[in-house]
Structure 1
Amino acid sequence: MEFIQRTTLPVLAGATVAGFAAQRVSQTVLDGFYARSGYPVPYYVGQLSFSADKLSGWYTAMLQAGTLGVYWQTQFMDFAFIAATALLFTAALALVARAFPAGTRARRIATLAVPLGVFAPLCDVVENLFSFAMLPDPGSVNPVLAVLYSSAAALKFAGFFAVYLWIPVALIAALAQRRRR
């Protein structure tokens, strides 16, 4: 991960701030689309249902309400959130790696965590692709697609959890290591 060592701290900090701002804005817009779609349950409930019958019911409810088209738009809008999240996570994880003293084992380990920045966003892309495969026939969702869709969502949420846990823990460890030096 040579780019981590060669990228200046102001560039990494700026990319982290830009990623955070873009993620917040895209999340706000995405939430508005989601609300207008009338999806009958919270998004995480639907994404983690692992149930073709439940997904078919929720999709059919939107179809009958005339809002399934808005839900399609929501899926496309999600790609802005995905891109913002990839920028935020990758830049923040690189910045955290740089917080450790150069040449230390801790920095090498923290550098290995940087690819996690794109893991959750890529899982989100896969989840959306499965969603696109299920939406053309909302009343008859394929059970295998439903399981694959929910599996991608579960991996996405696990990736988010790992990043959000790693960043503060690693920053505290980096500060402690720098104080000891």
Structure 2
Amino acid sequence: MTIMARLDDITRRWSWAKLGLALTASFLLGAIGLTWATVLYVRSGFPPALIEGQLAFDPHAYRAWYAVLIDKGTLPIYVRTQFVDYLFIAGLLATLFVVHLMIAKAQPKPRWRTLALTLAVLGPVIAASDAIENIVTLTMLSNPTGFAPWLGYLVSTISSVKWSWALIGCTLICVQIVALAWFRRHRSTAGLKS
């Protein structure tokens, strides 16, 4: 049985209640991870805002920011933030997966159903790129003022990919929801006319 067939089978066998419970659990995991990581990020006193820090494309800026954390004595808190972020990543991955399964279950059109199932497999790429970004960041933090400069460019490149995937992924979810609503409305309107 292929992955797509297995996912299709899950959408047919799992009740809406079971999918809703899975969505709630994955969303809560992501929310807890995000909240905890945000608190740690703020406590660390990392100088730039999140997006600025992720898209700096400047190894000298990263070294300067890490030096600030060393001076404040908060570098260990910032390192912990990277590990806690994996809770958010796991929650995001699971949430994207379940949302696409729910869209597939509700979708009456086979091609759109196939798209939702395909995105259930591909959607977690966003979370995977975030996980890779954290690995590179942790590598930089193992030698915060002397890491290889190419790592600073690499981490920003991976962050760019992550944010691009996030934009594409959010757009595709919105398109699928609009299409689902349109098809369901069209189907119910056609049923009223007959």
Please, what TM-score do these two structures have when normalized by structure 1?
A: 0.92
> Is 135-144 or 26-35 further displaced after alignment?
135-144
Matched, 1:27 2:34: yes
Partner residue of 2:107?
100
Note the alpha carbon deviations across 1:34-87, whole angstroms, 9 max, x for none.
Answer: 011110011221111111011111011101110001011111111111111111
Matched, 1:43 2:16: no
Equivalent-residue separation in structure 2 for 1:5 and 1:11 (angstroms): 15
> Is 122-131 or 132-141 further displaced after alignment?
132-141
| Residue 114 (structure 1) shift | 1.5
Aligned partner (choices 134, 141, 145) of residue 135 of structure 1: 141
Amino acid of the structure 1 residue aligned with 2:89: I
- The answer on whether the counterparts of 2:112 and 2:176 sit within 8 Å (CA) in structure 1 is no
Equivalent-residue separation in structure 2 for 1:178 and 1:33 (angstroms): 44
| Residue 159 (structure 1) shift | 2.1
Percent of aligned pairs sharing the same letter? 29
Partner residue of 1:165?
171
Equivalent-residue separation in structure 2 for 1:6 and 1:16 (angstroms): 18
Q: Which runs of 4+ in 1 moved over 6 A?
A: none
Amino acid of the structure 2 residue aligned with 1:14: L
Q: How does 1:35-74 map to 2 (within 5 A)?
A: 35-74=42-81
Partner residue of 1:124?
130
Equivalent-residue separation in structure 2 for 1:3 and 1:43 (angstroms): 38
Equivalent-residue separation in structure 2 for 1:109 and 1:180 (angstroms): 20
| Residue 118 (structure 1) shift | 1.3
Aligned partner (choices 4, 8, 17) of residue 7 of structure 2: 4
CA RMSD, 1 decimal: 1.5
Unmatched 5+ stretches in structure 2: 188-194
Matched, 1:85 2:92: yes
Structure label with greater radius of gyration: 2
| Residue 110 (structure 1) shift | 2.2
- The answer on whether the counterparts of 2:33 and 2:86 sit within 8 Å (CA) in structure 1 is no
> Is 161-170 or 18-27 further displaced after alignment?
161-170
Please, what TM-score do these two structures have when normalized by structure 2?
A: 0.86
SS at match of 1:41: coil
Equivalent-residue separation in structure 1 for 2:174 and 2:74 (angstroms): 40
- The answer on whether the counterparts of 1:47 and 1:153 sit within 8 Å (CA) in structure 2 is yes
Note the alpha carbon deviations across 1:88-147, whole angstroms, 9 max, x for none.
Answer: 111112211222116x21211222221233101110111011111111221123221111
- The answer on whether the counterparts of 1:55 and 1:141 sit within 8 Å (CA) in structure 2 is no
Matched, 1:76 2:79: no
Amino acid of the structure 1 residue aligned with 2:105: R
Equivalent-residue separation in structure 1 for 2:159 and 2:18 (angstroms): 31
